[in-house]
Amino acid sequence: MRLLCLLLFVSITANAQRLPVRWDELTAGKWNEALEKSNYTCILPIGILEKHGPHAPIGSDLIHVREWSARATQREYAVVFPDYFYGQINEAKHQPGTFALPSRVVWDLLEATCEEIARNGFKRIVIINGHGGNPNLIRYFIQTQLEKRRSYALYFYTPVADSAYSATVKAMRKSDPAGDGHAGENETSSLLYLRPDLVDMSSATKESGANQQRLNLPASVYTGIWWYGSYPNHYAGEGAKATASLGKVLTDHVIDGFVQALKAIKTDNKTLELQKEFFDRADKK
């Protein structure tokens, strides 16, 4: 009994001493330790709130980035900013549960969030994104970092597939990859792996995830209504064919790549050095 109590005490103490990764779970007294351990690196996970077919949760993209960040930082420490779901999602406003802020609010909030993260001592901010409608916004936002001098560098992680990984996924998939997207086989599979309790597989065939091709334009032409023209149900592909085993492969790939990226970013001084050199030259003009 005494041994059991001792073991219990040791394990509780070990847990209490473990430095949390989430910003909202750190104590103020541990802030400097978190800054140092992360080498002044903060992850900003960006999701969205929008319909995901008839079967997957509104916060699917947020759940992905939350889980990826939590799991990656078990292997490579960085501070994780709390849930952030203020991105570009005007195209889902006809569906229930969509949280679409005005574009200027989205922009200012992202800028103010980065500034606040930096004001708290971080020098490196890493965005990981779960929503297909966000990358244009994120990349343009990062380009505009060069508009004025900053005390921090902003990075955007996106997984890169190698041929071995692509072959594994191809062998496991059951639906046509050409039509697989939002809430389709891949995305539903990773949700089945990460949060099976939130997926209602019995509803996955209640709506069509086929491309409805309602626009009569060549592929070379881009227009804002394109997504609504093709996928008004906010469903692209066949979620019913999803499996948790495929979800594990997809998830491991994202997290392995993210851990590698975090290691590189945490030791990267060159980006900040070049930013400084750039502004020193630009200011002299």
What does the alpha-carbon distance between residue 258 and residue 272 come to, in Å, rounded to a whole number? 20
Nearer to Zn ion, 38 or 60 (CB): 60
- State the residue for tokens 């990062």: 142
CB of 183 to Zn ion, least distance (A): 6
CB of 210 to Zn ion, least distance (A): 18
CB of 52 to Zn ion, least distance (A): 6
Query: What does the chain come to in residues?
Result: 285
Phi-psi label, residue 234: left if phi above 0, alpha if psi -120 to 50, beta otherwise: left
Nearer to Zn ion, 61 or 67 (CB): 61
Nearer to Zn ion, 58 or 118 (CB): 58
How many Cβ atoms are within 10 Å of 271's Cβ, its own excluded? 15
Q: The tokens of 153 are what?
A: 């560098």
Nearer to Zn ion, 44 or 153 (CB): 44
CB of 257 to Zn ion, least distance (A): 18
Binding interface with Zn ion (CB under 5 A): 60-61
CB of 138 to Zn ion, least distance (A): 15
CB of 224 to Zn ion, least distance (A): 19
Nearer to Zn ion, 20 or 135 (CB): 135
Please name the residues in contact with 259: beta carbons below 8 A apart, sequence gap of 6 or more: 72, 75, 76
3-state secondary structure of 125: strand
Nearer to Zn ion, 23 or 156 (CB): 156
* H helices, E strands: number in the chain: 10, 4
- Rounded to the nearest 10°, the torsion over CA 51, 54, 56, 59 is 20
Nearer to Zn ion, 65 or 265 (CB): 65
User: Which residues are 56's β-sheet partners?
Assistant: 52
Q: Which residue is nearest to Zn ion (CB)?
A: 61
User: Which residues are 157's β-sheet partners?
Assistant: 128
Task: Determine the residue type at 60.
Answer: S
CA 235 → CA 92, 135, 218, 227, distances in Å?
11, 19, 22, 10
CB of 117 to Zn ion, least distance (A): 24
What does the alpha-carbon distance between residue 66 and residue 249 come to, in Å, rounded to a whole number? 18
